[in-house]
Structure 1
Amino acid sequence: MPETITLLNLLDDAAMLSLEHQLHLLELVGDHSWNVDMNQQRFDFVGPRATTCTGFQLLGTAAPGPRSWLWAWANPSGFPESLIAASAALRDFGEQHGIAELASAEVPFDALPGSPAEPVAAVGLLMDAAKAVTGRWTSYNGDAGGGTRAAFLIEHPDFRLPPPNPPRTMRVIMQALTDTWVTDHRRALHSYGLRRQLNPVFSPDFAKLTLSGPGFEAVVEFDQYGRVADIDASMSQHDA
């Protein structure tokens, strides 16, 4: 039978690669402000390294008053269809797979994993789910005023990740396990390994996962609950 896809699956699939892209984005744009013109379909970072995105999508907004997320396709403001195509595709994906959080026009914060109290946290969850579905991995969580946050998927050649770097890879793994919403450690690490071409291989009993790349190998051990119990990583002197 085909796998039943859930919102938690999508969050596990996205957690580590999403985090790595966001770290890369922050390094690129540094201390910045941002501007978006929906009519001109222009998204800019303003600061020491000014960047005009080559493309972007509005996913939706999270507001503190109603404590809910509103998908861009359902927003009564009537944004250009070309800028909300990703949100519409996520609606269709949600309907196909029975994921109410993607298919419903408005999603209460309490319906999301962990019942986030703040808009910024709700946005982070739904942006990660969107990345796992669309394959677009760089996002921006912007202050839209009045405590409301707006979520975008953004594109630019500079946003693409460089080849895996062993110290960065370990930082991403450890930070994601600590700071992001990961419920299935095995799935999250295997998904990250596949997407970063780290040759993920489970042991026959699924108690260990080996990740490997140039100058790097890590053997991840899982406890009886499927959580990461230990990571034994080795790096060549050249790459360490």
Structure 2
Amino acid sequence: MQNTLTFTDLLDDAALLSLEHQIHLEELLAEHSWHVDLQQQRFEFTGSRTLTCTGFHLLGSAAPGPGSWLWAWANPSGFPPAVVAASARLRDFGRQHGIPELASAEVPFSALPGAPTEPHLAAGLLTEAAKAVTGHWSSYNGDAGGGTRAAFLVEHPDFHLPPPEPARVMRVIQQALAGLRLTDHRRVLHSYAGKRGLGAEFGRDQARLSGPGFEAVVDFDEHGRVAHIKASLSSPQGG
């Protein structure tokens, strides 16, 4: 069977859940600084409180000079194997599924969707795809000097999302539709619903999403893009 999974599919699969995790992370960290010691395998946020990550993964770096992304597994600096193991798994996944953006050691910005010119935007795209493959949903994109951005997946129990809440779910959907580059709106919503534990029923022109205390009816236009969303609160059964 021919494999049809693409880099763009991974971006769609990650879009909403990644956005919700990043909103949660930003609210949690507020104003902060970050510090990483790759050799000691320590990643720490400092601010109103100190938060030491229970795990982190260096994905790679996006540099303005060459205008390209370099995966951590291919970096000649020789980072500890545990730090770059996730990037190596992504390389293997990319080779298995024929996704050059994951399989190639270096990826020109121009080869990415939208051909971004800013390192943080390019790093963001590779990070989104990495989340869909690894299942690690919180990330941090930091200044590595000289305009280069280093991208990490970060882990800590406090980064886990709380149960889905109506206002937050709708905020995530609306913010994504307004600000993210989404290709297949049905795929985006279906992926989010499945990963977030929401009910989902999809028809040709409409989808119905449901969760604790809410229901949302989504209308699609003739191009399969979201045209309208109507959300309503519902009473708990037996309440």
SS in 2 for 1:79: coil
Is the Cα–Cα contact under 8 Å of residues 213 and 233 in structure 2 kept in the other structure? yes
Instruction: Give the counterpart letter for 1:81 in structure 2.
Output: P
Is the Cα–Cα contact under 8 Å of residues 61 and 69 in structure 1 kept in the other structure? yes
TM superposition shift of 1:214? 1.0
Instruction: Give the counterpart letter for 1:162 in structure 2.
Output: P
Partner residue, 1:82: 82
In structure 1, C-alpha distance between the alignment counterparts of 2:29 and 2:235, rounded to whole Å: 30
User: What is the TM-score normalised by the length of structure 1?
Assistant: 0.96
In structure 2, C-alpha distance between the alignment counterparts of 1:164 and 1:155, rounded to whole Å: 20
In structure 2, C-alpha distance between the alignment counterparts of 1:181 and 1:237, rounded to whole Å: 34
Instruction: Give the counterpart letter for 1:108 in structure 2.
Output: P
Is the Cα–Cα contact under 8 Å of residues 15 and 176 in structure 1 kept in the other structure? yes
- Aligned match of 1:233 in 205, 214, 231? 231
Alignment of 1:45-194 (within 5 A): 45-194=45-194
- Aligned match of 1:220 in 193, 211, 218? 218
Instruction: Give the counterpart letter for 1:210 in structure 2.
Output: R
In structure 1, C-alpha distance between the alignment counterparts of 2:2 and 2:9, rounded to whole Å: 14
Q: Cα distance 1:3–1:230, how it changes in 2: closer, same or farther (>3 A)?
A: farther
TM superposition shift of 1:3? 5.2
Cα RMSD of the aligned pairs, angstroms, is 1.1
In structure 2, C-alpha distance between the alignment counterparts of 1:180 and 1:20, rounded to whole Å: 13
TM superposition shift of 1:67? 0.4
| C-alpha distance after superposition, 1:176-218 (max 9, x if no partner) | 1121221100100110011011111112xx2111110111100
SS in 1 for 2:176: helix
SS in 2 for 1:84: helix
TM superposition shift of 1:237? 7.6
TM superposition shift of 1:236? 3.9
| C-alpha distance after superposition, 1:212-238 (max 9, x if no partner) | 011110011100001000101001489
TM superposition shift of 1:49? 2.5
Instruction: Give the counterpart letter for 2:170 in structure 1.
Output: M
In structure 2, C-alpha distance between the alignment counterparts of 1:87 and 1:103, rounded to whole Å: 10
Is the Cα–Cα contact under 8 Å of residues 61 and 151 in structure 2 kept in the other structure? yes
Instruction: Give the counterpart letter for 1:29 in structure 2.
Output: L
In structure 2, C-alpha distance between the alignment counterparts of 1:143 and 1:181, rounded to whole Å: 24
Instruction: Give the counterpart letter for 1:82 in structure 2.
Output: A
Is the Cα–Cα contact under 8 Å of residues 18 and 137 in structure 1 kept in the other structure? yes
Is the Cα–Cα contact under 8 Å of residues 53 and 154 in structure 2 kept in the other structure? yes
In structure 1, C-alpha distance between the alignment counterparts of 2:170 and 2:12, rounded to whole Å: 17
Corresponding pairs, count = 236
In structure 2, C-alpha distance between the alignment counterparts of 1:83 and 1:158, rounded to whole Å: 21
Is the Cα–Cα contact under 8 Å of residues 28 and 49 in structure 1 kept in the other structure? no
The runs of at least 4 consecutive aligned structure 1 residues that moved more than 4 Å come to none
Is the Cα–Cα contact under 8 Å of residues 139 and 151 in structure 2 kept in the other structure? yes
What are structure 1's unaligned runs of at least 5 residues? none
Is the Cα–Cα contact under 8 Å of residues 30 and 49 in structure 1 kept in the other structure? no
Is the Cα–Cα contact under 8 Å of residues 14 and 129 in structure 1 kept in the other structure? yes
In structure 2, C-alpha distance between the alignment counterparts of 1:2 and 1:140, rounded to whole Å: 34
SS in 2 for 1:141: strand
| C-alpha distance after superposition, 1:13-34 (max 9, x if no partner) | 0000000000000111110010
Q: Cα distance 1:3–1:170, how it changes in 2: closer, same or farther (>3 A)?
A: farther
Is the Cα–Cα contact under 8 Å of residues 218 and 233 in structure 1 kept in the other structure? yes
Partner residue, 2:206: 208
